[in-house]
Chains A and B, each alone.
Chain A
Amino acid sequence: MTAGREIGRPILEIDGVSLAFGGVVALQGVSFDVREHEIRAIIGPNGAGKSSMLNVINGVYHPQQGTVAFKGRKRRNVDPHEAAQQGIARTFQNIALFRGMTVLDNIMTGRNLKMKSNFLQQAVYWGAAKREELEHRAKAEAVIDFLEIQHIRKTPVGRLPYGLQKRVELARALAAEPELLLLDEPMAGMNLEEKQDMSRFVLDVNDQMGTSIVLIEHDMSVVMDLSDRVVVLDYGRKIADGTPDEVRNDRGVIDAYLGVAH
């Protein structure tokens, strides 16, 4: 199913990360890694700390303890936009698109970091700024083709159905040509057909672009089909880590999902 791509060295290393909000512990000593070209899933019951984990990687939250190393470099307190500059893109559990803007404009914001013309040039929309705009427009169009959303290119995002919005959000993330892509429940609320489409796109991205992907997903069959390795969180702790098969048969995981008291 994922022939032709080489799982490489770790691109992201999470080591002993703890995060608390006031007295509420969201993550506690979590460690795992993500390798190049890998699809890594994070699963767990509601409130397990999955989204918190993604927000730590993305720089929205700053862990009180532990380190995050991206491409071998440890970092402290990065901002989301710095994380984006380093090559991390993401989608959100509740779609966070720019609703007033068209699909194309949304995707173009993904190219934001790649554009170099200065503010003054843009103010007069002249020379380099105009050339650059057209160049990046071509890149955005490629992403649009890839995700098969040509027909809605000029539609304001707010008017699109949910499934398509999810796809546009993925497109915007891809437009940034990230090395690491964080997907927060990309299939939530989708029907079977939409899920199949989305699964295909995730695999294609991973396969053709070689992007490493961290995926949070509730649908177990999707997780088991897509991912190379799975981390399981429960109450902010890591309770299992391994291939889908290993995790599926793990006693602790089964207990956690069935709600056995600790």
Chain B
Amino acid sequence: MQFFFEVLIGGLLAGVMYSLVALGFVLIYKASGVFNFAQGAMVFFAALTTVGFISMGAPFWLAVALALLAMVALAFFTERVVLRPLVNQPQITLFMATIGLAFFIEGIAQLTWGANVHALDLGIADEPIEWLIGNTGMNISKFDLVASGIAAALVAVLAVFFNKTRTGRALRAVADDHQAALAVGISLQRIWVIVWMVAGFVALVTGLLWGARNGVQFALTFLALKALPVLILGGFESIAGAIVGGLIVGASEKLAEVYIGPHVGGGIESWFPYVLALAFLLVRPEGLFGERRIDRV
């Protein structure tokens, strides 16, 4: 039983890390209805830019600030070069454009900073907490706990931003109804830049945490694969959904890997969340927290 809880808690903590990735998708989807295929590439780009500046001798916080600036520049670039020319195009066109953007960002990242892999040390030991082992026998990493704390803080900040500020309200307004948003004087272009900036910021936080965990390397772009079932579960436009979806995916895939995996040859972690998400899709197509939309025909 103790082993069960250990797997469960470990899974929940891993799930928080998935939520973080999913959050970036949700932000952009909410504001523009676009599934941003490039989110994984943005995570990679942000983390690589940070370690790139560190390797040039910049102190950690300066490197983070410079990476954030790079993400802001990327937001402006994306709005100007990708989104603006495609305004009023079908969503599938925008989606395709973000696929192109993903390749572009990956290329730029590697050409600027090289193909090498890097370590990133945030100064938080990724080791089990002695006290917990001593008292409960459970093996929980300090890093995972801190990362969950950071993720929670990030979500809280985003919630205040979305609910209490004019820009946050404008973001929600654009997400709700483009035409009406324009009519009350909200500039779509400005909102898009801001939302990509915020998504860039989330990508940076994600990249730093995941980069510290597994190293800063190209595989960071694969994180998008982990976010997809989270999004299906949680709904594409709900921040709360991203969090809960992440927790469900994290916990269930770990439990499945440990308890079902050995009976079917293992390695089910990669596809189990998708199966779960698909099964869920049949019951609630709009996701856990997605808005049920009934379109009049």
Contact = CB atoms under 8 A, between A and B. Distances in A.
Q: So, do A and B actually touch in the complex, CB under 8 Å? A: yes
Interface of A: 58, 60, 79-81, 84-85, 89-90, 92, 96-101, 105, 108-113, 115, 117, 119, 122-123, 125, 129, 132-133, 136, 172-173, 176
Interface of B: 160-161, 164-170, 172-173, 175-177, 179-188, 194, 291
B291 A92 contact: no
Residue of A100, A108, A109 most packed against chain B (CB within 10 A): A109
B186 A89 contact: no
A105 B187 contact: no
Contacts of A99: 176-177
A69 to B, nearest CB: 20
B185 A113 contact: yes
B183 A92 contact: yes
A109 B182 contact: no
A125 B165 contact: yes
B176 A122 contact: no
Contacts of B165: 122-123, 125, 129, 133
Contacts of A173: 184
A117 to B, nearest CB: 7
A122 B184 CA distance: 20
A164 B37 CA distance: 40
B179 A96 contact: yes
A79 B84 CA distance: 14
B179 A109 contact: no
Contacts of B160: 125
A92 B180 CA distance: 8
A122 B161 contact: yes
Given A80-B182, A81-B182, A129-B165, A98 B173 contact: yes
16 contacts: A60-B182, A80-B182, A81-B182, A81-B187, A84-B183, A92-B180, A98-B172, A100-B176, A101-B172, A101-B176, A109-B173, A110-B184, A112-B169, A112-B173, A133-B166, A136-B166
B185 A105 contact: no
A58 to B, nearest CB: 7
Contacts of B291: 100
Given A101-B169, A125-B160, A125-B165, A84 B176 contact: no
Given A122-B166, A133-B164, A96 B183 contact: yes
Q: Is the interface of B mostly helix, strand, loop or mixed?
A: helix
Given A100-B172, A101-B173, A125-B160, A112 B183 contact: no
A96 B180 contact: yes
A118 to B, nearest CB: 9
Given A101-B169, A105-B172, A117-B166, A123 B161 contact: yes
B194 A109 contact: no
A68 to B, nearest CB: 16
Contacts of A80: 179, 182-183, 185
Contacts of B173: 98, 101, 109, 112
Contacts of A101: 169, 172-173, 176
Nearest to B178: A96
Contacts of B179: 60, 80, 92, 96
B295 to A, nearest CB: 13
A61 B136 CA distance: 68
Contact of B169 (A84, A105, A129): A105
Nearest to A59: B182
B185 A84 contact: yes
Contacts of A85: 185
B164 A172 contact: no
Nearest to B179: A96
B180 A125 contact: no
